[in-house]
Amino acid sequence: PSPLRHSLWKEEAVAIVWAKVLLSGPAPASLDRGWKEDGFFSVGMMIPDVNRTVLFELVKALGEPRLFVGLLLALPQGVRRSELEQLVEYIAYETSPSDIGLFLDVWWEVMKHKEGQEDETVSAFSALVSQHGCESSLDDGLQPPKRFKGDPCSLNHSTAATDLLMALIEGLKQIYRSIILPHMRCYALANLIELLTMFSELQPKGSPLPIAEYLDKVSSVVSLWTSDTESQFHNRQLDEKVKEAERSLNLKPVVRLSREELFVGLDFLCSLLHAWGEELLGTLNSSEGRCYESYRLLYTLTAFEKNLVCFSETSDLGEDETRIALELTQITKDFLKEISISLKREDLNTSLVSSVATTIIEQKLDRYVEMCSVFVSEKTWAFSKDWVDCLVTSKALFQKPELVLKLLEMLVNFAMSHRDKEAQVLQMQVTETILECYTELSLGDKNEVISGVLASWGGPGLSLNMQVVMEGFQEDLNVTFNQITKSVSDQGLDRAVASVARLMLLYPEATVKQVCNLAVVNLGAHQFLAQILCSFPALSFLETHDDPDRPRSLVGRCLEEAVWGRLSTAREEEQFLEFLTFLMQPSSGDPLVSPAAVTRAFVLPYLKSDSAQIELSLQILSKVLGIQSSSDEHWIKCCHPFPLLLSICRLLDGYTKYWHQPRDQLFPSLEIKDLLLNILCQLCEVVRPETAPSPELWVQSLAWLHRKVASLDWT
What pLDDT is stored for residue 549 in this prediction?
63
Q: What is the mean pLDDT of residues 199-224?
A: 89
Nearest Cα neighbor of 19 from 106, 121, 140 is: 121
Local confidence band at 80 (pLDDT 50, 70, 90 cut-offs): confident
Distance between CA atoms of residues 419 and 413, nearest Å: 11
Cβ–Cβ < 8 Å for 665, 690: no
User: Per the domain annotation, does 97 fall within a domain?
Assistant: yes
Q: Of the spans 190-199, 521-530, 667-676, which averages the highest pLDDT?
A: 190-199
| Higher pLDDT among residues 403 and 463, named by residue | 403
User: Per the domain annotation, does 542 fall within a domain?
Assistant: no
Tell me: pLDDT of 153 over 60: no
Tell me: pLDDT of 96 over 90: yes
Could you read off the pLDDT of 477-510 as tens digits, one per residue? 999 999 898 877 666 889 999 999 999 999 999 9
- Please, how many CA atoms are within 13 Å of residue 152, restricted to the half-sphere of its CB? 0
> What is Dmax (Cα atoms) for the chain?
133
Distance between CA atoms of residues 399 and 301, nearest Å: 40
Nearest Cα neighbor of 233 from 3, 41, 21 is: 3
Q: What is the mean pLDDT of residues 54-66?
A: 91
Q: What is the mean pLDDT of residues 239-251?
A: 93
Q: What count of other Cβ atoms lies within 10 Å of the Cβ of residue 119?
A: 14
Question: Which residue range is the domain that position 107 belongs to?
Answer: 1-179
Tell me: pLDDT of 109 over 80: yes
Distance between CA atoms of residues 190 and 170, nearest Å: 16
Cβ–Cβ < 8 Å for 620, 603: yes
What pLDDT is stored for residue 664 in this prediction?
63
Q: What is the mean pLDDT of the chain?
A: 85
- 440 Cβ contact partners less than 8 Å away, ≥ 6 residues apart: 396, 399
In one-letter notation, the amino acid at residue 521 is V
What pLDDT is stored for residue 552 in this prediction?
82
What pLDDT is stored for residue 610 in this prediction?
77
Local confidence band at 209 (pLDDT 50, 70, 90 cut-offs): confident
What pLDDT is stored for residue 430 in this prediction?
95
Cβ–Cβ < 8 Å for 239, 359: yes
Q: What count of other Cβ atoms lies within 10 Å of the Cβ of residue 615?
A: 18
Tell me: pLDDT of 638 over 60: yes
Under DSSP, the state recorded for 552 is E
Four-CA torsion 262, 263, 267, 268, nearest 10 degrees? -30
Nearest Cα neighbor of 683 from 647, 707, 710 is: 647
What pLDDT is stored for residue 421 in this prediction?
87
CA angle 292, 295, 298 (to 5 degrees): 150
Tell me: pLDDT of 313 over 60: yes
Q: What is the mean pLDDT of residues 584-610?
A: 86
Cβ–Cβ < 8 Å for 172, 269: no
Cβ–Cβ < 8 Å for 20, 47: yes
Looking at the chain, the whole-number percentage of residues with pLDDT higher than 70 is 87
Tell me: pLDDT of 440 over 60: yes
Under DSSP, the state recorded for 341 is -
- DSSP lists the bridge partners of residue 543 as 552
User: Per the domain annotation, does 75 fall within a domain?
Assistant: yes
What pLDDT is stored for residue 133 in this prediction?
62
Distance between CA atoms of residues 195 and 269, nearest Å: 11
- DSSP lists the bridge partners of residue 552 as 543
Tell me: pLDDT of 580 over 60: yes
Distance between CA atoms of residues 270 and 260, nearest Å: 15
Tell me: pLDDT of 545 over 90: no
What pLDDT is stored for residue 92 in this prediction?
93
Local confidence band at 47 (pLDDT 50, 70, 90 cut-offs): low
Query: In 338-442, which ranges are continuous DSSP H helix?
Result: 350-362, 368-375, 385-393, 401-417, 421-439
Tell me: pLDDT of 559 over 90: yes
Provide the whole-model pTM: 0.83
Give Cα 116 to chain centroid, integer Å. 26
Q: What is the mean pLDDT of residues 589-615?
A: 87
Distance between CA atoms of residues 235 and 237, nearest Å: 7
CA angle 176, 73, 179 (to 5 degrees): 10
What pLDDT is stored for residue 524 in this prediction?
85
Distance between CA atoms of residues 362 and 622, nearest Å: 59
Local confidence band at 48 (pLDDT 50, 70, 90 cut-offs): low
Q: What is the mean pLDDT of residues 40-57?
A: 69
Cβ–Cβ < 8 Å for 480, 503: yes
- 360 Cβ contact partners less than 8 Å away, ≥ 6 residues apart: 215, 218, 242, 246, 366, 367, 368, 371
Where is average pLDDT lowest: 45-49, 384-388, 603-607? Answer: 45-49
Distance between CA atoms of residues 336 and 273, nearest Å: 11
Local confidence band at 715 (pLDDT 50, 70, 90 cut-offs): low
Tell me: pLDDT of 144 over 60: no
- DSSP lists the bridge partners of residue 553 as 542
Where is average pLDDT lowest: 255-264, 281-290, 643-652? Answer: 281-290
Total domain count, the chain: 1
| Higher pLDDT among residues 702 and 438, named by residue | 438
Local confidence band at 665 (pLDDT 50, 70, 90 cut-offs): low
Tell me: pLDDT of 177 over 90: yes
Helix axes of 292-314 and 182-198: crossing angle, nearest 10 degrees = 30
What pLDDT is stored for residue 230 in this prediction?
84
User: Per the domain annotation, does 636 fall within a domain?
Assistant: no
In one-letter notation, the amino acid at residue 578 is E
User: Per the domain annotation, does 222 fall within a domain?
Assistant: no
Distance between CA atoms of residues 652 and 683, nearest Å: 14
Nearest Cα neighbor of 329 from 311, 299, 309 is: 309
Looking at the chain, the whole-number percentage of residues with pLDDT higher than 90 is 53
Could you read off the pLDDT of 28-39 as tens digits, one per residue? 444 444 444 555
Where is average pLDDT lowest: 5-19, 434-448, 460-474? Answer: 5-19
User: Per the domain annotation, does 517 fall within a domain?
Assistant: no
| Higher pLDDT among residues 410 and 141, named by residue | 410
Local confidence band at 343 (pLDDT 50, 70, 90 cut-offs): low
What pLDDT is stored for residue 121 in this prediction?
84
Q: What is the mean pLDDT of residues 271-284?
A: 92
Rg (CA), the chain: 40
Tell me: pLDDT of 350 over 60: yes
- 450 Cβ contact partners less than 8 Å away, ≥ 6 residues apart: 501, 504, 505, 508, 536, 538, 539
The answer to whether the Cα torsion of 96, 99, 103, 104 is positive or negative is: positive
